[in-house]
Amino acid sequence: MADSQNQAAALKPEQILEIAIRRRWFIIVPLSIFLTLGFLYTLTSNQIYEASTTILIQPQRVPSDYVQSIVTTDIAQRINTISQQILSRTNLEKIINEFGLYQGQEEMFQEDKVTSMRKRVVVTQNSSRRQGTEAFTVSFTGSNPENVKNVANELASFFMNENLKARESQAIGTSEFLESELEKIKKKLEDREHALAVYRSKHLGGLPDELETNLRTLDRLQLQHTDALNALRDTQNAAALLKSQISRIREMAQNNTNATIQQDGTIVESSNLSITEQQYEVEKRQLDDLLLKYTKKHPEVIRLTKSVEKLKIKIQEEKEEEERQNIAQDTQTPEGVNGAASANNNVLFQHEYNLKQLGNDIVNIKANIREIEQATQVYQKRVEDTPKREQELQSIQRDYNNIRESYSSLLARRLEAELAVNMEKKQKGEQFRIIDYARLPQKPISPDVRKLFMFSIAIGLGIGGGIIFLLEFLNPAIRSEEQIETQLGLPILASIPSLSKPGDNTKKWIERICFSIVSFYAVVMLLSFALLNLKGIDKTLDFVKTYINI
């Protein structure tokens, strides 16, 4: 075995050529047989054609800076989803019935037809990163070229229509979802606004933003309360003084004393002053005393100021009347006594009137003090409840702000969704566009003539070569002079040529003729295979038929 391997390794090209010529039948016969088998298989097998449509994925036409698409699914995932929809049983049955597929196969079950149809549809995605474009191909295979082309174009149309429907449906669904959620948020926002308005209305005046106003009002009420207490004390003192003066006047009237009681309680003797002048002096002195304690806006000061003005005018009128009548008065006559008594009565009447007014003032001041105290309690309660109101208001306001932010966000998204829906309806978004329609296939993809041709040649030559190898290198016969010298180690002294026998020339001619016929047949098979590969089976058969008819 080792000698055979060494012998094979030592073969020269001329030796190989000599072996091929000598064993030519083992080469030509297997080659012819397998070329014949391959050719017959090519002619008799079912021809399968393929038609494909290329669809380009066009990007969104409107810049995304202006309108943001709400269809954000991956392209591969979207193509896969649409493929599942197109390859559904209902859609495939529609295509089978429309184009009359599987005619003559009525015994075939509908499920098997759908399964076979689904296997014959192939979707291949093609992407070019350099050019930044994406596309995919829809292919369909079948035995009828016309049907294959029509079905491929129909599937491509389904892809485009389903893509438009899917994008529009998703955009509309998103818009409707946002609309429903917006209505819910709007209802919650209105409820919170109503609750906030009710709370503000219920606690009006005690809200945290009114704290400063309440504090200032509370300070002002405290000042008013202090002023009212001071005014009450002074008015009560003035009333007590008037009561004392009234008691003294009544006591003097009982004793018939010829004296005049002034407003401040001082007892003076009767003088040449008239009653009006005496009353004027008394009220003038009382007004001066009050101005030392109060301002000009004090009620009692205002009242005495008006009374003094009236008395002053009255005194002027009396003087004018006295000058016209030139009446002389006698201070020691009983009339003077009567005048003093009359003056005292007038003072008593005035004091009683003033005392009554002071009583009314005391009642009014006390009522004012009660009102101030009630108002102070109200504002004090508001100030004390301010932290509690602030906490409650913050809780309501926090929920309101959160809901309002959610509402604003959803409102903006809904507007974007409406723009996206309009963009999809006007087909300005991402679209599928057919750039290469399916054409009528001229050459079948199965059987593959080129592969069968190469396979037939390889099998024929391989089998022939294997047989030659077995015959040549497993046979220990010596066929050359060199083998004698190398294998046996004996020198060659002379060589005797082969002797011809009668009939050898005839056998040689017959062998040559047969070999030529077989070789010609092999060449014909090779040319036929080449013609099938170049022209296609149908055109080749048409050509042969035409040639035979001629």
Cβ atoms 27, 461 nearer than 8 A: yes
pLDDT for res 510: 87
Cβ atoms 57, 78 nearer than 8 A: no
The 10s digit of each residue's pLDDT in 191-210 is 888 888 888 888 787 788 88
pLDDT for res 334: 45
As given in the structure block, the two tokens for residue 222 are: 């405290």
Q: Does an H or E element contain 367, and which?
A: helix 334-425
From residue 148, how far is each of 102, 322, 373, 442 by CA, in Å?
A: 12, 143, 101, 11
Angle at 419 between CA 418 and CA 424, to 5 degrees: 95
In the chain, the N- to C-terminal Cα span, in Å, equals 60
- CA–centroid distance for 215 within its chain: 48
Residues in a beta bridge with 141: 50
- Cα separation, 290 vs 231, whole angstroms: 12
pLDDT for res 140: 92
Residues of the chain with pLDDT under 50: 1-9, 129-130, 132, 257-272, 327-337, 550
Neighbours of 468 (CB within 10 A): 19
Cβ atoms 500, 406 nearer than 8 A: no
Beta carbons within 8 Å of 271's beta carbon, 6+ residues apart: 260, 278, 331
The SS3 of residue 51 is strand
Domains and CATH numbers, the chain: 2-45+447-494+501-549 (no CATH), 49-181+418-436 (3.30.70), 211-326+333-413 (no CATH)
Sign of CA dihedral 206, 211, 217, 219: positive
The 10s digit of each residue's pLDDT in 340-379 is 555 556 767 777 787 788 788 889 988 999 998 898 898 8
**pTM of the predicted structure, to 2 decimals:** 0.52
Q: Does an H or E element contain 261, and which?
A: strand 259-261
pLDDT for res 314: 79
pLDDT for res 528: 82
Nearest to 264 by CA among 298, 287, 232, 233: 287
pLDDT for res 349: 77
As given in the structure block, the two tokens for residue 29 are: 């016969």
Sign of CA dihedral 298, 300, 305, 306: positive
As given in the structure block, the two tokens for residue 121 are: 């549809």
